[in-house]
Amino acid sequence: MGHVGKNGYGVLKVSVKPVKFEYAHRISYRLTYGDIPPDKPCICHRCDVQTCIEPRHLFVGTDLDNARDSWRKGRGYVVGGARGEDHPQTALTWDVVREMRRVYGTSIGRGTRFTYGEIAATFGVSYAIASQVLTGITWKE
């Protein structure tokens, strides 16, 4: 049992002055396999449990390796990569996004513009998602 940091990883105090903390999974890897290669500084989890320190569940990689592993497992996206329909957590498609924007745009000329909340309810998304899609913060063409 130990301390879990704000980011969800286990940490250990490895010196007293100055106080220095290190991630428990990194210590576990080093104790089992030796030094962490400088060209692959990340210790990634095969099991995707941040607090896991089981050496068999750990492997070395780069930030990009870690991001790709996350994306392959449907938990995240590759930096500079998966966007829109390619993102594993999206609930929308380009067709739905275009239709949301078309409906919102046509409401301008009717005297009363549809609200983001009305568009959200119509398309089954949250207010925040509707707002981001309609203002172009997300789903940029």
What is the residue-wise DSSP string for 60-93?
Answer: EE-HHHHHHHHHHTTS---TT---GGGSTT----
Residue 70 burial by Cβ neighbours in a 10 Å radius (0-12, 13-18, 19+): middle
**Statement to judge: residues 16 and 64 lie in one domain:** yes
- Is 60 among the domain residues? yes
In which domain, by residue range, is 48 found? 3-82
At residue 98, the pLDDT reads 92
Are residues 104 and 65 both part of a single domain? no
In a domain, 110, yes or no: yes
Position 113 scores a pLDDT of 81
First to last CA, the chain: 48
The domain tally of the chain equals: 2
Q: What confidence score (pLDDT) does residue 33 get?
A: 96
Look at residue 87 and tell me if it is in a domain: no
Residue 30 contacts residue 52 (beta carbons within 8 Å): no
Q: Is residue 11 part of a domain?
A: yes
Instruction: Identify the pLDDT of residue 2.
Output: 64
Which residue matches tokens 């030094």?
35
Same domain, 47 and 108: no
Would you write out the chain's pLDDT as a tens digit for each of its 141 residues?
567 777 777 777 666 666 567 888 999 999 999 999 999 999 999 888 888 899 999 999 998 888 888 777 766 554 556 677 776 667 788 999 999 999 888 876 667 788 888 999 999 988 888 998 998 888 886
Residues 51, 31 share a domain: yes
